[in-house]
């Protein structure tokens, strides 16, 4: 008998954000599959139905094929044909610029490309393969990608993309991927794609890296996980191809559609 439980793939399930998403979906009764380059830490394995570790140094095609086999096994075990949600939580951050250190920038670029850009491409490929139902119309299936507030709002005063170039460039890949997919899924009616744009996430790594920061502006992982869960379960309330800024002010987190750069500075034609 097919399981009536809904099924989520978390691509990047071993990181701080991924573990939070696994916990949220699992506690709400979903079956969860984690794919990551590292194992899910012990304290989070209770939230993982199945998991798959992929080789950090492998190419994207190998990542896709190994992940596909893991999804197929996961679905077969639960007598199901499709997933209900794919959440991309893989990612990394570095600081650099090509003015001061070209070699460092290029090295970082190759890393960020794989960690941020290519991981989103693979996750979206898995969404395209395993979300759509056969011969049915759209049924609130959702793919959620983790973008970047800073890279998306690069044109805003005070957004320091010039000190995080390879990061911003790799996240621009992800944002364009959402924009291409938006056009495509609207045509095919296959699944919705949404992009979350967090600022600083409250993780152990960030607390260690920035011990003196004002963490009342940082977003707790469970808050982001709840937003992902809302998107997965109430897709109708969200916009296909939508970019959702996640802001935390005075410890209160909100989520806002921000596709429209109303305050983009206008360059006067010469």
**In the complex with a copy of itself, which residue's Cβ is closer, 20 or 241?**
241
Q: How far apart are CB 33 and a copy of itself at their closest, in Å?
A: 17
| Nearest distance from C-beta of residue 20 to a copy of itself, angstroms | 25
Closest approach of Cβ 162 to a copy of itself, in Å? 4
- Sequence-separated (6 or more) residues with CB below 8 Å from residue 239: 194, 257, 259
Q: Which is nearer to a copy of itself, 21 or 174 (by Cβ)? A: 174
Q: How far apart are CA 63 and CA 37, in angstroms?
A: 9
- Rounded to whole angstroms, the Cα distance separating 106 from 20 reads 32
DSSP codes joined into one string, 41-99: PGGGGGG-SEEEE--TTS-HHHHHHHHHHHHHHHHHHTT-S--SEEEE-------B-TT
Measured from the CB atom, the residue of 30 and 167 that comes closer to a copy of itself is: 167
Place of tokens 């979206």: 124
Task: Tell me the residue length of the chain.
Answer: 270
Considering beta carbons, is residue 113 or 253 the nearer one to a copy of itself? 113
Least distance CB 60 / a copy of itself (angstroms): 5
Which residue, 49 or 166, is less far from a copy of itself as judged by CB? Answer: 166
Tell the smallest beta-carbon distance from residue 118 to a copy of itself (Å).
7
Show the CA angle centred on residue 40, arms to residues 36 and 42, nearest 5°. 170
Q: Least CB distance from residue 105 to a copy of itself, whole Å? A: 6
Q: Which of 228, 241, 230, 136 is closest to 190 using CA atoms?
A: 136
Residues 256, 238 contacting (CB under 8 angstroms): no
Q: Which is nearer to a copy of itself, 154 or 226 (CB)?
A: 154
Q: Which residues bind a copy of itself (CB under 8 A)?
A: 59-61, 64, 97-99, 102-103, 105-107, 109-110, 113, 117-118, 121-122, 124-126, 128-129, 151, 154-155, 161-162, 165, 168-173, 175-177, 179-181, 183-185, 187-188, 190, 237-239, 241-242, 256-257, 259-261, 264, 266-267, 269-270
CA distances, 245 to each of 27, 104, 149, 151, 153 (Å): 25, 30, 7, 12, 10
* Cα-based distances in Å from 132 to 15, 178, 241: 27, 17, 17
Is 24 or 124 the residue whose CB approaches a copy of itself more closely? 124
Q: What is the closest distance, in whole angstroms, from the C-beta atom of residue 151 to a copy of itself in the complex?
A: 7
């Amino acid at each position: 008998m097919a399981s009536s439980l809904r099924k989520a793939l978390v691509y990047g399930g071993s990181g701080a954000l991924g573990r939070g998403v696994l916990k949220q979906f699992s506690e709400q009764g979903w079956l969860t599959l984690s794919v990551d380059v590292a194992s899910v830490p012990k304290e989070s394995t209770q939230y993982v139905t199945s998991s798959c570790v992929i080789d950090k140094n492998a190419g994207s095609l190998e990542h896709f094929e190994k992940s596909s086999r893991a999804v197929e096994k996961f679905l077969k075990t639960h007598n199901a044909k499709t997933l209900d949600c794919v959440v991309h939580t893989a990612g990394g951050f570095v600081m650099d610029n090509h003015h001061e250190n070209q070699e460092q920038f290029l090295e970082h670029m190759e890393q960020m490309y794989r960690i941020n850009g290519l991981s989103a491409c693979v996750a979206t490929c898995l969404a395209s393969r395993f979300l759509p139902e056969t011969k049915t119309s759209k049924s609130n299936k959702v793919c959620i990608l983790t973008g970047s507030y800073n890279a998306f709002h690069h044109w805003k005063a005070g957004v320091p993309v010039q000190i995080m170039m390879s990061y911003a460039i790799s996240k621009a890949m992800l944002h364009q991927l959402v924009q291409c997919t938006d056009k495509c899924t609207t045509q095919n009616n296959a699944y919705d794609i949404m992009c979350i744009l967090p600022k600083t996430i409250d993780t152990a790594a960030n607390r260690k890296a920035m011990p003196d920061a004002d963490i009342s502006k940082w977003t707790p992982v469970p808050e982001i996980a709840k937003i992902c869960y809302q998107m997965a379960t109430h897709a109708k309330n969200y916009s296909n191809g939508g970019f959702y800024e996640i802001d935390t002010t005075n410890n209160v987190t909100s989520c806002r559609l921000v596709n429209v750069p109303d305050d983009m500075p206008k360059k006067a034609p010469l």
